[in-house]
Structure 1
Amino acid sequence: MSIWASSFTGIICLVILVATLLSPASGNTEGDALSALKNNLVDYNNVLQSWDPTLVNPCTWFHVTCNNQNSVTRVDLGNANLTGQLVPQLGQLPNLQYFELYGNNISGQVPNELGNLTKLVSLDLYLNKLSGPIPKALGNLQTLRFLRLNNNSLSGNIPGSLTTIETLQVLDLSNNHLTGEIPVNGSFSLFTNLSFANNNNLTFLPASPPAQRPPSTQSTSRVGNSAIGAIAGGVFAAAALLFAAPAIALAYWRRRKPRDHFFDVPAEENPEVHLGQLKRFSLHELQIATDYFSGKNILGKGGFGKVYKGRLADGSLVAVKRLKEERTQGGELQFQTEVEMISMAVHRNLLRLRGFCMTPTERVLVYPYMVNGSVASCLRERSNSQAPLDWPKRQQIALGSARGLAYLHDHCDPKIIHRDVKAANILLDEEFVAVVGDFGLAKLMDYKDTHVTTAVKGTIGHIAPEYLSTGKSSEKTDVFGYGVMLLELITGQRAFDLARLANDDEVMLLDWVKGLLNEKKLETLVDPEMQGNYVNEEVEGLIQVALLCTQSSPHERPKMSEVVRMLEGDGLAERWEQWQKEEVFRQEYSTTQYETASWIIADSTANLNADQLSGPR
């Protein structure tokens, strides 16, 4: 019996082993799903070039963001010039929160399997060529906040299941071929921004009192031509408004209510309260972590407070930013700005806000600890035991920080302007991956705003000229600051340094670099810490990008998404050649204007005596 038992056990083990070997690795499921998407798309610009299916997981791929468990949380492929169709395997990304594929030429239907993505926060498929019905399964996405399917060719009815998504903030189905009734009698929140404009004969589903507000839409309902129909419609609208008035008043009151009251409860009452994915720490917990905000744990000081190194109870290291004790309006604004915006901005090259603490006397933000500090500290404040940044790391930092800023400008809703891009605000993790930090001066932008006007804030040497003169900041002010940061990265010098006056040099780094370039002294401006271990052509390319970013006119500067492409080797030569031609034209035009002005002056003074002329001759 023992022999038979041993044989049987051996057979079972062999079967299990074979089954394990033949089955796909569970850790590769998400990579397989994205590989299936890649195989179903035509990628004209090679934006998916890094999507290597042989890797264990897709977390190292461009345009893919993962959490700490190496699970995909975000796919950013907006405006990537992709064609093809979506695949049902996308439903195998259980932790996906943001799926952005807008502004492409994607055709075919929206897969029903997207309804499996129960953690999805934003689904942006607008400006494509999608057709067919809107899947009812999207009603399963109970954490969805943004659903934008506008500017496609979708047809059929609007699923009533969408009305059950109580978290929905934006639902845009405009510019499609939808028909039937708009289900306003469901659970659409009073705060949901609805748009159904430019569809085929959409009509409003009659609502039972108390009625919710009708969705904001420009689509035309079918109205009878008879006078009786018009009167009945007027009576119905008046009744709906009467019933909706209390709800509208409540909504207005809630919008007018200061946001500070939402946060400001004693942290000790419930330290486990979370805002989205942010943990609310107790003040005592952070005091213990930082040895009661000991001076020996200070990592740095800023305009609104100090940053301390801390160790939480679970052993993890954090950077704790404690705002100044005085409760100034600026400090309050910075705290609310950082909490709201950083919690929305999730990207590999952006500093992730881990949590916050708010009491009647304290405002504290908690970030992951960046082992290698900032780019500025690595360039100018490193210890003797710390190796200088080599050229490959500097290239990696340039590309990573550009991707982070491009995400803020093009993928956040609303857009985010950083307004203080500099080497000190580019942090480095343990692998020297660049992480854009410190959103304290950032501003939210609405879709339709091209700029915001504020008091000028920033750092001397990094501030764009138009921002300094007008107070109007835009994404192009970030581009300017990024260009100066590139020059810091190349030269190792500060953007503004009075010490250069000792050598009769320009105090502004940008002017100093331009002067050396005019004298063809490339080797003089490269950081000597690299000891010549760099490729001249690559340095020249990075300088070209920096000069394109720091042009005096904001309209002539590239967008950060264009900067990313140039750093990846796409379009820099053409852009630089175009800029040189325009620069030659401007110089010739200036020379012509000067000669014309000189001729006019000479002609007008031809009959004057020499003693009538003033100034140098």
Structure 2
Amino acid sequence: MGLIYAVLILVSLHSFVASDYQGDALFDLRTSLNASASQLSDWNPNQVNPCTWSHVICDSNNNVISVTLSFVGFSGTLSPKIGVLKSLNTLTFQNNGITGGIPVEFGNLTSLTSLDLESNHLTGQIPSTLANLSKLQFLILSQNNLTGSIPESVASLPKLITLQLDSNNLSGQVPAQLFQVQTYNFTGNHLNCGVNFSHLCESKSSNSDVSSKSKLGIIFGFIGAVIGLLLLGGLLFLVRKIRRQGYRREVFVDVPGEDDQRIAFGQLKRFAWRELQLATDNFSEKNVLGQGGFGKVYKGVLADSTKIAVKRLTDYESPGGEAAFLREVEMISVAVHRNLLRLIGFCTTPSERLLVYPFMQNLSVAYRLRELKPGELVLNWPTRKKVALGTARGLEYLHEHCNPKIIHRDVKAANVLLDEDFEAVVGDFGLAKLVDVRKTNVTTQVRGTMGHIAPEYLSTGKSSERTDVFGYGIMLLELVTGQRAIDFSRLEEEDDVLLLDHVKKLEREKRLGAIVDCNLSRNYDSHEVEMMIQVALLCTQSSPEDRPTMSEVVRMLEGEGLAERWEEWQQVEVTRRQEYDRLQRRFDWGEDSIYNQDAIELSGGR
């Protein structure tokens, strides 16, 4: 036993030391980049494990594998200490104002597969030490001020797929091996590409070669004219074909497949439009899994037989354009938890934004509650309990463990999916920032589903973690009752169209049997049902300050602290009901005063 304990201590110590030096290296990077107080504020030198820091992804052994710092606005330099991160496979500093050179220590990042330093102010030469990066696939150094020649050693990188060196001040001969790379760009430099590839360099010319440049201008002009005629002919052919087949809403032009791999956040894949078009049978209506406020979701199958779900966003144009979209996609991708739907990729075209997720074979909780086909099994009570706790844990992670925190804004049974083991998986989180609310038909910026939206969100348009808590409470009531949040069929028997009001009334009357989903056929634990209803009513209090946090919800579902909280709520509810009844008696003027009563109602909140 003592030996096992000693081994555990050594393992823990190794993990601590690994996190310590990685945290030191990253904090040194933050310092060298001249990060402001608001930039990377959670990169705390006193917190040695960097795996919880924003823009950082670690593997299961607490090794840093991805650092993505695009469009942040840094003005400093790159720290050579980054070279100690031997497990790093993705390093991205695209579109900042970083100065200085590329540290030769980057050659120590032997696990690196993607290095993106595009659109900065980097100077100096490309380090020959990059030849040590035997796993490197993507090297993006475009739009900087790099000088000198391209090292011969870089040309020997065995797995290089994409090389972008355009718009620098590079000179000298381009190694011939680099023309065998799938995607490359050397334009906007002073490079010599050789006789066979001279047109690929587009070197900046001096006065002495104006004559030769004029000849080349004539040649390229002729080639351009021919290409233009071919394109015009193709366009006319396409127009005729469209007219013969009938009008279609849009015609999409695909982008080259190789270039689709350029942007890589951790394990995210950038899909080609054509790839998703084929996977979904041209986004056929028969493959529609569902439709919500953010767009339709299609079932698809990739060429390797992987089943996927493709969300085709509507109103996607966020104010920051594609750059803002990619930032938000990155934020969603780093939220990794067993109860959150994992984003596996995305696709952008001039007119489309799509997100790609794994396909959940048991579909959504809403489907399992209300849309079952004959022969399919009803969700039993133990599974509903598991869904309630799993969803709470997923939301707790979004609110309290993500940096920046993520507010879902549309928590409901339809957005909680079920994997092959009927484990709850929260989907559609983070999407509110991927669309432009100005393009919707709604007059406010509220996103969500009526009946699930918290009252303060409806009245002010401002959301918080507590608006998610409200939506979660309504979802719990869906789990217990099997009913929708709004049901107009209840008007035939009562005035309570809202599920929340309906359950409150039945709870006051102690009619538990009338609350629980009849599909359960009384196969449930009455005490557990009462507890879930109590948690739901605590979550749906009108004042957001009175609602519990999601971490408190998790504890209550696990049996901790619910009794005390429920007793407090009952006392407040009794007082509230008494005040409501008192006001009703005060203004109860009888049937003859119906017009005055209408006037009072209309003067209230809309």
TM-score band by shorter chain is 0.5 to 0.7
Q: Per-residue deviation at 1:271?
A: 3.3
Amino acid at match of 1:412: C
**Structure 1 residue 573: Cα displacement:** 1.5
**2:367 aligned with 1:377, yes or no?**
yes
Q: Is 2:355 the partner of 1:368?
A: no
1:493 aligns with one of 483, 502, 519: 483
Alpha-carbon RMSD across the aligned residues, in angstroms, is 4.6
Give 1:323 shift. Answer: 3.0
In 2, the alpha carbon distance for the partners of 1:115 and 1:265 equals 44
Note closer, same or farther for the CA distance 1:141–1:460 as it changes in structure 2 (3 Å cut): closer
Q: Distance in 2 between matches of 1:515 and 1:592?
A: 14
The aligned runs of 1:208-607 (5 Å cut-off) are: 266=255, 268-276=257-265, 277-324=267-314, 339-439=329-429, 441-442=431-432, 455-584=445-574, 590=579
Deviations 1:120-179 (A, max 9, x none): 999979698989xxxxxx9x9574569xxxxxxxxxxxx98369889699xxxxxxxxxx
Q: Which residue of 2 aligns with 1:447?
A: none
Specify the SS of the correspondent of 1:270: helix
Contact 1:441 1:457 in 2 (8 A): no
Change (3 A) 1:280 1:128: closer
Moved over 4 A (4+): 112-131, 162-169, 184-188, 326-338, 584-588, 591-595
**SS of corresponding position for 1:357:** strand
Residues 539 and 318 of structure 1, relative CA distance in 2, 3 Å threshold: same
CA–CA distance in 1 between the matches of 2:44 and 2:25?
20
Is 1:161 matched up with 2:151? no
In the alignment, the residues of structure 1 paired with residue 288 and residue 444 of structure 2 have an alpha-carbon distance, to the nearest angstrom, of 31
**2:484 is paired with a residue of what secondary structure?**
coil
- How many equivalent pairs are there? 391
Structure of greater relative contact order (alpha carbons < 8 Å, 6+ residues apart): 2
The residue identity in structure 2 corresponding to 1:111 is V
In the alignment, structure 2 segments of 5+ residues that lack a partner are 28-39, 50-57, 70-78, 94-98, 104-121, 124-144, 146-252, 435-442, 588-595, 598-606
Deviations 1:81-120 (A, max 9, x none): xxxx992142xxxxxxxxxxxxxxxxxxx53565489999
Distance 1:350 1:437 in 2: 6
Q: Distance in 2 between matches of 1:526 and 1:466?
A: 28
Conserved 8 A contact 1:306-1:321:
yes
- The answer to whether the 8 Å contact 1:88/1:114 transfers is no
Change (3 A) 1:268 1:118: farther
Q: For residues 57-97 of structure 1, what are the alpha-carbon distances to aligned partners after superposition, in whole Å with 9 as ceiling and x for unaligned?
A: xxxxxxxxxxxxxxxxxxxxxxxxxxxx992142xxxxxxx
| Cα drift, residue 551 of structure 1 | 0.4
2:17 aligns with one of 93, 111, 136: 111
Amino acid at match of 1:398: A
User: CA 1:594–1:559 in 2, change beyond 3 Å: closer, same or farther?
Assistant: same
Corresponding residue number in structure 2 for 1:68: none
Report the more deviating stretch, 471-480 or 274-283: 274-283
Check the 8 A contact 1:420/1:441 in 2, yes or no. no
* Identical positions, percent: 55
TM-score by length of 2: 0.56
Structure 1 pair 267–304 and aligned structure 2 pair: CA distance change class (3 A): farther
8 A Cα contact 2:408 2:429, kept in partner: yes
1:290 Cα deviation after fit: 1.3
Specify the alignment match of 1:228 in structure 2.
none
Q: Please point out which of 79, 83, 87 is paired with 2:12.
A: 87
Question: Per the alignment, do residues 313 and 145 of structure 1 end up closer, same or farther by CA in structure 2, a change over 3 Å counting?
Answer: closer
Distance 2:101 2:530 in 1: 60
In structure 2, C-alpha distance between the alignment counterparts of 1:438 and 1:299, rounded to whole Å:
14
Contact 1:349/1:434 (CA < 8 Å) preserved in 2? yes
Deviations 1:327-379 (A, max 9, x none): 75599799657623321211111111111111223222111001111111110
Cα pair 1:273 1:279 within 8 Å, conserved: no
Residue pairs, 1:18-167, within 5 angstroms:
87-90=12-15, 111-112=17-18, 114-115=20-21, 143-144=66-67, 161=81
- Contact 2:364/2:415 (<8 A) preserved: yes
Structure 1 match to 2:178:
none
- Do the aligned partners of 2:393 and 2:550 also contact (CA within 8 Å) in 1? yes
**Alpha carbons of structure 1 residues 145 and 282: separation in structure 2 relative to 1, 3 Å:** closer
**CA distance in 1 between partners of 2:499 and 2:352 (Å):** 38
**Does structure 1 retain, via aligned residues, the 8 Å contact 2:261–2:271?**
yes
Shift of 1:472: 1.3
More strand by share: 1
* C-alpha distance 124-411 of structure 1, shift in aligned 2 (>3 A): same
